[in-house]
């Protein structure tokens, strides 16, 4: 038991694990993530509705979005930005790993009477023949990628942009890094059974890597 607890709470190397598939394609956790996306009381998977509406208006004004603007949203989730931009007349493509989120996005787009091209894929693998005026990546997705993954993505952005096109990244600041502290906690059925419908203990560790300026929030569950 002691060895297992020691392994659970050990400090991994930065970017040692990439668990996007487990998070976004598992039926239970992807449903939980969608619920957090749509929860307007917390800024968790997505920010609150008023912030998103202000952000869409800022993007429209800052990048002169109109009927001839082609936009790609990498990690679009349930379409909270893509559908808003489509309502402003843009031609929008949304890419996301979660089939549940995309189903919601498609339904919401149909209800609004707008057309958005939603692509179910890991955005690291996304390819397209058309080119975009603007590529957006919101809610700090870029920050969680390893240096090698960032290189892949930036190279992809370069190939997908029209001449003079723009990339908008939402990232964490150094001030955010400085404010975070290392911690270790455990909890029964953490986050209201977010990780599993069955009872479990969840071990949550926050690690700081000063040299890399990286924060890792490690969450490991053990079923009872």
Segments of the chain assigned to CATH 3.40.50.150: 27-169
Average pLDDT, 10 consecutive residues per value, the chain (224 residues): 76 86 82 83 74 94 95 95 96 95 96 96 94 94 92 96 96 91 91 88 92 89 72
Q: What is the pTM of this model?
A: 0.87
pLDDT score recorded for residue 1: 65
| CATH no. of 27-169 | 3.40.50.150
Task: Please state the three-class secondary structure of the chain as a single string.
Answer: CHHHHHHHCCCCCCCCCCCHHHHHHCHHHHHHHHHHHHCCCCCCCCCCHHHHHHHHHHHHHHCCCCCCCEEEEECCCCCCCHHHHHHCCCEEEEEECCHHHHHHHHHHHHHHCCCEEEEECCHHHCCCCCCEEEEEECCCHHHHCCHHHHHHHHHHHHHHEEEEEEEEECCCCHHHHHHCCCEEEEEECHHHHCCCCCCEEEEEEEEEECCCCEEEEEEEEEEC
With vertex at residue 16, the alpha carbon angle to CA 101 and CA 31, rounded to the nearest 5 degrees, is 20
pLDDT score recorded for residue 224: 60
């Amino acid at each position: 038991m002691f060895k297992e607890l020691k392994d659970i709470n050990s400090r991994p190397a930065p970017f040692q694990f990439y668990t996007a598939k487990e998070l976004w394609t598992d039926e239970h956790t992807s449903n939980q993530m969608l619920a957090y996306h749509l929860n307007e009381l917390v800024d968790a998977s997505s920010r609150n509705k008023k912030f998103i509406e202000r952000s869409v208006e800022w993007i429209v004004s800052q990048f002169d979005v109109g009927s001839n603007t082609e936009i790609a949203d990498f990690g679009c989730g349930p379409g909270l930005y893509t559908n808003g931009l489509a309502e402003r007349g843009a031609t929008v493509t949304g890419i996301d790993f979660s089939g549940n989120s995309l189903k919601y996005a498609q339904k919401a787009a149909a209800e609004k009477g707008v057309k958005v091209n939603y692509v179910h894929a890991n955005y690291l693998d996304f390819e397209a023949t058309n080119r975009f005026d603007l590529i957006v990546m919101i809610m700090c997705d870029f920050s969680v990628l390893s240096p090698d993954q960032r290189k892949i993505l930036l190279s992809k952005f370069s190939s997908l942009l029209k001449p003079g096109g723009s990339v908008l990244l939402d990232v964490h600041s150094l001030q955010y890094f400085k404010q975070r502290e290392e911690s270790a906690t455990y909890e029964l059925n953490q986050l209201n059974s977010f990780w599993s419908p069955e009872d479990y203990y969840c071990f949550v560790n926050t690690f700081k890597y000063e040299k890399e300026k990286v924060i890792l929030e490690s969450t490991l569950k053990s079923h009872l």
